[in-house]
Structures are given as C-alpha cells and as structure tokens.
Amino acid sequence: MTLIRPDLDTLPAYVPGKSVPGSIKLASNEVALPPLPAVLDAIAEAAAGGNRYPDLAVVALTEKLAQFCDVAPEQVAVGCGSVSLCQQLVSATCRETTDEVVFAWRSFEAYPIVTQIGGAVARTVPLDAEFRHDLDAMAAAVGPNTRLVFVCSPNNPTGPAVTDAEMRRFLAAVGPDVVVALDEAYFEFVTDPAAVNGRTLLDEHPNLVVLRTFSKAYRLAGFRVGYALGAPPVITALRKVCSPFSVSIPAQAAAIAAIEHSAELLAALPPIIEERTRVREALLAAGYTVPVTQANFVWLPLGDAAVPFAQHCMDQKVVVRPFPGDGVRVTVTGQEENDAFLAAATSFQA
C-alpha cells in the first residue's frame, strides 16, 4: 500500500532562481524595476477588501484584457500565473495515461512537470542546432495520442522566437484536433518583425491558445497573474479546471492597473532590449556561443561547465540560472548589473 502515487518520486522539482541578499539576481527573467506607484496604490486599495473572497469569475480583469487584446471576454481565461494555465491546459486535454503532450526540449521546465502531474506522457523534440524549435520535427511527433502541444516563443531558456511563417505551417500540419499552446511569456520583448504574434492567428485556429503573463514586462511576478487567449470552448474548459479563487484580490487589481499604465510599463523595455544586444555581442566577443534572443535573457550552452560558471558568477555576487550539464540562462537588465555579469563571464576559466 502506498498513500501517494508512486510516480511522484520521479517528478522533477521546479527549481526557482535563487535570491541571495547582497547579490545581483539575474536568475528568473524578472524586470528589476518595482511595480509602478499607481499599480501599488491600486493593490493597497484592493487589499483593504481582503476579508472577502476575490471575484471567482475575474470579471473586471477579463473585460479589461478582452479590450486590451481586442478579443471577446469569452476568449480570455485568467490564471494564477501562466504556469497555472499550463497545468490547466493539461487537465483540460489529457485524461488517459496514454495521452501525450508534445514540446521542444530544452524549453520551459514546467512543461514536463505539469505533464507528469496530469498523468500524461511527455514527447519531447530536440531544439535544432541554433537552439530554436524544430517545428517540422514537432509536427512529425504529433500522433493519434497527442492532446496538447506547447510551443514557447521566445523559447525559455534559449531565447529564439518562432517566426509567423513557421507557426502557420506548424498549425496547418498539426490540424484542428490537437490543442496548441503558444507560450508568449516574453512577448513584450520581441522586436523581430518576422516573429509570431499568437493573437493574430487566433481567428483562424480555434485549437490555438496563447499564453501571456504579467510576471515579466508588467513587473508583477510576485502577484501571480497570467492569461490565456483562445476560442470560447477551450477557454471555458480552462476556467472549469481552475482551482477556485486562485487569482487573489490584489492580483486582479494589480493586473487591471498595469493594463491602465501599460504604455509607461512598455516604455521601460527598449533600454533592456538594447542591453540584450550589447550583452550578447560582448559575450560573443569573449568567445562564448550565445543564440540569438528575443527575450530578456541570454543562453550560454556551456554543457558541463554550466555549474562551475554559475558558481563563479555567484562568487562575484551575480546569481544566474544553471541547468546542470546543459547551459546557463542569464537575465538581461540594467547596464550596471549587466556589466557585473559580463565582468564575471569574462573572468571565468573553464
């Protein structure tokens, strides 16, 4: 007799980026700037009503997001971070132990975790030589048992974005009977005009779900709000499998205020995007391999040197995110912090 399902013994842990007092944290792809004062005011005001449950249906924020994204409210599901929506997608699509979820690897570490929690089978497809999604190989991996595909653009942790043409071809190859989740957590940092914008594909593809978050560009990682855009039947299902009241009163208020101040929040991104180019070029000049990146991070495919490299950065009071045996992901932020990282990187000896 076991009390707990035995397969949880092999469930990989979600490893958060470390916060080390006195060190610069470049480990979780956050924007280092605090929430805007107007957003903090809205949170404080909302918190005063915290003796009551939040709005279960998240009506005000859903309507705000529908306007913001130019879709109907029935096309919006709000979740406790987009990671929760990833889990809800598995719950809403997979039931049999033979059901499969296809995703690229390496990609966002939550995909294998939510797949296994959902009792489904992960079918992973290696990234190509440039650390990009190989969408033709992913389409070929979709079979009769596939219920869900995650496509991550820009890809966490490697950085490249999927192009609009690639995504259209992929959706055509997969057909309408499999839910395709396009995870655009870093959408606001994308500058390549050829990159996909999932919103523009929704009308033609009722099996497409676009995931976005307030955790990155909108500086609300600690408040836990993400959203999904899709066709009403899929969105209704996502709402059904949601854990009730999971988006708190302050979180709902924070997200509404962030949308109201989106112009100011988005205006803070171009300097980070310029720094992304500078940091990557400095690393290339120092001899590192660094894939092109459309996100607020860079990837260093260091293999076995990933952990020693991260330790060396830590010794220089810069916290980066190692993926042992594979690579290191480093958030791009302000110039001073990035310089501290570049000093660590250029003084590393493998």
Shortest Å, Cβ 155 to ligand PMP: 8
Residue 163 binds to ligand PMP (criterion: CB under 6 A): no
Instruction: Please give the Cα distance from 200 to 249 (Å, whole number).
Output: 31
Alpha-carbon torsion angle 265, 271, 272, 274, nearest 10: 140
Shortest Å, Cβ 302 to ligand PMP: 20
330 strand-pairing partners: 298
Residue closest to ligand PMP when measured from CB atoms:
81
Q: Please, which residue, 93 or 156, has the CB nearer to ligand PMP?
A: 156
Residue 81 binds to ligand PMP (criterion: CB under 6 A): yes
Residue 318 binds to ligand PMP (criterion: CB under 6 A): no
Residue 195 binds to ligand PMP (criterion: CB under 6 A): no
Task: Name the residue among 220, 221, 229, 211 with its Cα closest to residue 42.
Answer: 220
3-state helix vs strand vs coil in the chain, percent to 5: 40, 15, 40
Instruction: Please give the Cα distance from 62 to 290 (Å, whole number).
Output: 38
Q: Please, which residue, 159 or 301, has the CB nearer to ligand PMP?
A: 159
> Which pair of structure tokens corresponds to residue 9?
């013994």
Q: Please, which residue, 183 or 326, has the CB nearer to ligand PMP?
A: 183
Q: List the one residue from 25, 26, 36, 82 that touches ligand PMP (CB under 6 A).
A: 82
Contacts of 276 (CB under 8 A, 6+ apart): 189, 293, 295, 296, 298, 332
Q: Please, which residue, 27 or 36, has the CB nearer to ligand PMP?
A: 27
Q: Please, which residue, 82 or 115, has the CB nearer to ligand PMP?
A: 82
Can you give the length of the chain in residues?
Answer: 350
Residue 152 binds to ligand PMP (criterion: CB under 6 A): yes
Instruction: Please give the Cα distance from 58 to 252 (Å, whole number).
Output: 7
Shortest Å, Cβ 295 to ligand PMP: 8
Question: Which ranges in 145-189 belong to alpha helices (H)?
Answer: 164-174
CA dist list (Å): 306 to 30, 120, 322, 323: 21, 30, 6, 7
Q: List the one residue from 102, 104, 171, 185 that touches ligand PMP (CB under 6 A).
A: 185
Q: Please, which residue, 235 or 305, has the CB nearer to ligand PMP?
A: 235
Question: Which ranges in 71-121 belong to alpha helices (H)?
Answer: 82-93, 110-117
Binding mask 253-292 for ligand PMP (x = CB under 6 A): ----------------------------------------
Shortest Å, Cβ 282 to ligand PMP: 24
Dump the DSSP string for 121-133.
EEEEEE--TTS--
Residue 215 binds to ligand PMP (criterion: CB under 6 A): yes
Residue 226 binds to ligand PMP (criterion: CB under 6 A): yes
Q: List the one residue from 91, 213, 252, 338 that touches ligand PMP (CB under 6 A).
A: 213
Region from 77-85, 136-144, 231-239, 333-341 binding ligand PMP, contact rule CB under 6 A: 77-85
Task: Name the residue among 30, 35, 39 with its Cα closest to residue 253.
Answer: 39
Task: Name the residue among 213, 209, 231 with its Cα closest to residue 222.
Answer: 213
Residue 180 binds to ligand PMP (criterion: CB under 6 A): no
Query: Which residues between 12 and 51 bind ligand PMP (CB under 6 A)?
Result: 29
Instruction: Please give the Cα distance from 310 to 18 (Å, whole number).
Output: 11
Query: Which residues between 89 and 108 bind ligand PMP (CB under 6 A)?
Result: 108
Q: Please, which residue, 108 or 170, has the CB nearer to ligand PMP?
A: 108
Residue 221 binds to ligand PMP (criterion: CB under 6 A): yes
Instruction: Please give the Cα distance from 324 to 140 (Å, whole number).
Output: 29
Q: How many residues bind ligand PMP (CB under 6 A)?
A: 13
Order of strands, edge to edge, in the sheet holding 321-323?
A: 297-300, 327-331, 321-323
Q: Which residues bind ligand PMP (CB under 6 A)?
A: 29, 81-83, 108, 152, 156, 183, 185, 213, 215, 221, 226
